[in-house]
Structure formats: C-alpha cells, structure tokens
Amino acid sequence: MLVVELIEKKKLGRELTDAEIDYLVANFALGAIPDYQMAALLMATYFKGVNDREGRRFLHAMIHSGEQLSYPNIPARKVDKHSTGGVGDKTSLIIAPVVAEAGIPVPMISGRALGHTGGTLDKLESIPGLSVRLTHRELESILKKYNCVFGAQTDSLVPADRKLYALRDVTSTVEIPPLIAASILSKKIAEGTDALAMDVKIGSGGFLPDEDSARELALRLVEWSRAYNVETIAFGTDMNEPLGNTAGNGPEIEECLRILQTGSGEPRLLEISTLLGATMLQLGGVSKSQHEAREKFTDILKSGKAYTRFQRIAEAQGAIPESWKMFESGVPASFEREIKSSKDGFIGEILPRDIGYALVDLGAGRRVASDPVDPSAGVRFFKKRGDRVASGEPLALAQWSSESANSPAALARIETAFVITESQPVPRPLVYFRTDANGASAYKS
C-alpha cells in the first residue's frame, strides 16, 4: 500500500478498509511510516471524520500493535479510572490509592499532557525519582503488593497509541472523538483491566465542547469496551473551569497529597473524586450501592491510609522518600507572579483553555513532543467562579523555574482567563449524565 494514496482517500472523505487501518497502525508503530505522513492523515481525518467501524478498527489495531497484559496471580477483579482530560484534573491521583486501600487492584496505565490539558504521568514524574516506565514484571509485582501501580505505555504495550498520542498533541488533531475513544480504551484493554469508570469532560477545558458530543463519546466508550468484556460506566462532568485549587504538575501533586492526608479539599474536586471512586468500588464488588460506596470511599480518604499507600506505591516505583517534605512545604519555583483583579465585581468565569495554554507557555506542557517539562510550573487559584473580588485583590499565583518559559504571554493569558462581571454567575451542574450498558440518563445526585 502507498500511504499517500490512503491520505488522499481520507482527504476525499472516503472510508478506510480494515486492512488499510491495520497497515497504517502497525507500520507507524514500527517506524516504517514517518510522522509527516501520519500527521497529514490525522489532519485529513480531523476534517473528514471517522465512522464507528473505522474507529473500532483503529482500536483493534492499536491494541494488537503490542503485547496485552494479564495478571494470573491476581485473581480479583481489576478496576481502573480514566478521564478524557482537563485543566487541573487530578482525580486519578486521589482515587487510585483509596480504591486500592479498599482491596481492589488498580492497574493504571495513564497518558501525558495532551494539547492544553494535563497528563497524569507528567504529574507523577514531578515526584523526584519516580519512574512510570515499568516492565510487565515490575507492573505485576507492584500491583500484587500494593493493589495499585502507575505505568506508562512502553515500546511493547500499545506502542501505536503512544506514538499517535504524541503526534496528535503537537499537530492540533486531538479532537477526533473515535480516536479519543480508541486511545483511551486501547491502553485500558491492553493493561488487563476488567472494569472502568470514565470521566468524560464537557466544556472548553476539555476536548468536547457540549453535552451532546460528550454523551456520544460516553456511549461509544461503553459499547466498544463491552466487546472486550470490560464493564464501563461513564459520567459527563463539567470542565468549563479548572478543577481544584491548582493547575500544573508539581502543584497538583501537592494538592492531592494534602487531600490524601486530611480528607478535605476543594469541593468540586472532592465530589468528582468521590463519585468516580465510589463507582469503582461498586464495579469491584466491595460495595452494593452508590450510597454505601460513597461512605466507604470517604471513610478511607479521611483515615489517611490512602496517603500512606500512595507513598508506598510511589517509593516502589523509585520515588525518593525525602521528596514528601518538599510537597508538604510547597513545590519551590524560581519565579512567581501574582495575578490581581482589574476591578470590583464577581468571578464570572475562569477560562480553563486559556489557563491550559498559559501552563504550556510556563513550561508545564509541551510545544513539541521532545520538550522537557518543568515540574514546578503551575497556577494556584485564590478565587473561584462566583467569588466577589475587589480591584487589586490577588486572584491567582503563577510560578515557574525555566528561564526559557514564555512568561509574559503566560501571565497575560492567565489575567484574561479571569472574567470579572458585575453580577454573580448562575451555578452550573457539576455532573450532567451517567452512561452504562442501559444507555445515558440525566445524573441525579
């Protein structure tokens, strides 16, 4: 096959056959197709679309581009959680150790920053010494001992997705819903999970702008995963503002550790963490109802036991024990700047996409795939949507350490991300819908 012909075919809006998709994915994973040709194909796909059959075949090909993990020595039902990505979305780091403490194995293979959104792996790597590049034997050993492991895709585990993920990030072709689904599920199916709780983000801070497109993706995730015997429950949650009190790799780890220590934190972040964590407890069979599961999740979180478990997991993955002191005292940065309100009023919006791109300018994300990441770069929010503010009052603190950061552009983006209004904004729902094998329904708290 000639790749240029397949690019032309998709450019004209025609369907790719199963054999053509298999050829593209397998040969791109092997390095036989150069990035520039796959980038052209992705751009054509972005504008012309991918239908359900093509999307399912991309998923199949990506799973089979490498090995598939299994854990015969861990018979318990393995449950994972994943998000479609957002700004300040750090729930995995809170949920996983709590669910593991409840006795459910969590084999978490995660991704890196994508576009303006953060990545769980980049956050974890802000802990000095911690490695997410683990062999199958290491993954299984840590999972068996601690009920949780945080891993990255390797050269042998869904290598096609790892390469496509990085290329989509730097070519502005992330927002292709079937490929979002294929990327998520290829990692989760290949990692050997039996059930999955999904957080589908809705709004400008994610990749799905409205509830309809989020419902479509959620239904696709549930249906596609069922074909691989993975039970999935998906929720549509708000991403029209950053989640939590921080955004950026090291600062978000710091916030998560504090929540794991105290059981308290920013209400929106705690609610989504509890909702998804409780769903995992139900999927894992340790709780019979959502009410019982929420109580169990909250009890474990408040006990501090999940904090200790997280430390043990991290140290098993190479984290330096002394690093916890750094997070307790606040992630240090070489530079910082307060963002202040330009007038009296209310915080009408905090535009998450602007915050996300500001983080890239500060060095917390990547402009090109090979860029290093500054673990100290981030934003700390002093005010939330709906808060009253006075002119000159601090709204947020930006911090960074890289001298190559485009800090003027970042600071300007952060300042304009805070929209000051004369009247208090109307509250938005935090959770819009729930989707399972029976379909999607409006969420009732």
**Confidence band (pLDDT; 50, 70, 90) for 85?**
confident
Instruction: Give the pLDDT band (50/70/90) at residue 370.
Output: low
Catalytically annotated residue among 187, 353, 380, 413 = 187
Average pLDDT, the chain: 94
Active-site residue, from 183, 186, 273, 401? 183
Burial (CB < 10 A; 0-12, 13-18, 19+), residue 32, is exposed
Is there a catalytic annotation at residue 161? yes
Whether 354 is a known active-site residue: answer: no
- Percent of the chain scoring above 90 in pLDDT: 82
Give me the mean pLDDT over the 153-163 stretch: 85
Active-site residue 187, yes or no?
yes
Contact 305, 101 (CB under 8 A): yes
pLDDT at res. 312: 98
Q: What is the pLDDT of residues 11-40, one digit of tens each?
A: 999 999 999 999 999 999 999 999 999 999
Catalytic-labelled residue, pool 90, 116, 168, 215: 168
Q: State pLDDT tens for residues 52-65.
A: 999 999 999 999 99
Quick one: pLDDT at residue 368?
Answer: 63
Region of poorest pLDDT, from 79-88, 161-170, 324-333, 430-439? 161-170
Look at 169-178, 231-240, 393-402, 403-412 and tell me which has the smallest mean pLDDT.
169-178
Domains for the chain: give ranges and CATH numbers: 3-49 (1.20.970.10), 79-325 (3.40.1030.10), 335-421 (3.90.1170.30)
| pLDDT at residue 206 tops 90 | no
This prediction has a pTM of 0.92
Spot the catalytic one: 10, 82, 90, 366. 82
60 is catalytic: no
Q: Which of 161, 169, 238, 374 is catalytic?
A: 161
Kind of pairing between the strands at 418-421 and 431-436? unpaired
